A and B are shown apart, each in its own frame.
Chain A
């Protein structure tokens, strides 16, 4: 079943994660969430909280604005 994707936030999480050589599972373990959280954020099903966005950015050694952007 296809999930409704949220168009209000563009994210590059998958690209940064793959570049860092991490699986969804590995990234999830690093920031202390379930793999499903990473999966749903990557696929724009779910907009992360500020804290989660900051944790993701820190784990991927980047800033939040590089990971998530508002659409033009």
Chain B
């Protein structure tokens, strides 16, 4: 495996980390806002927020370290090549589609029950961000044709 391949692999790993941690942090926060005060799940949601926020700092540090790695390897342009831009565009399209689907679902649910706007909007942002990140990783990791 070449140095560039290793950097591509590391990029995917860091994106997975960022996606998972962001989900823990923001998803937990959405759950805290939506759950009733006496819910048994509240402690799990609070733990998720606490763990996620700490891990977010670690994920950002990993991202900064990765950027140093890329610059040291003089690989900024290589990692931003045609294929990378192509799958990034596809990931943005996928993220947009998931967000629209989620908005429609929230809209329909809102017809039957009273949804609080703040956590719902936060949840929609979370879905938009995370679906884009994971779509990119999925496209990047698809098995190559020999």
Contacts and interface: CB of A to CB of B under 8 A. Distances in A.
Interface of A: 1-3, 25, 28-29, 32-37, 39-40, 43, 45-46, 48-49, 52
B84 A34 contact: yes
Interface of B: 2, 4-5, 8, 77-79, 81-84, 86, 140, 142-145
A39 B82 contact: no
25 contacts: A1-B142, A2-B145, A3-B142, A25-B2, A29-B2, A33-B81, A33-B82, A33-B83, A34-B4, A34-B8, A34-B78, A34-B84, A35-B4, A35-B5, A36-B83, A36-B140, A36-B144, A37-B81, A39-B144, A39-B145, A43-B145, A46-B83, A46-B86, A52-B81, A52-B82
Contacts of B81: 32-34, 37, 52
B82 A32 contact: no
A45 B78 contact: no
A56 B62 CA distance: 34
Given A25-B2, A28-B4, A32-B77, A37 B83 contact: yes
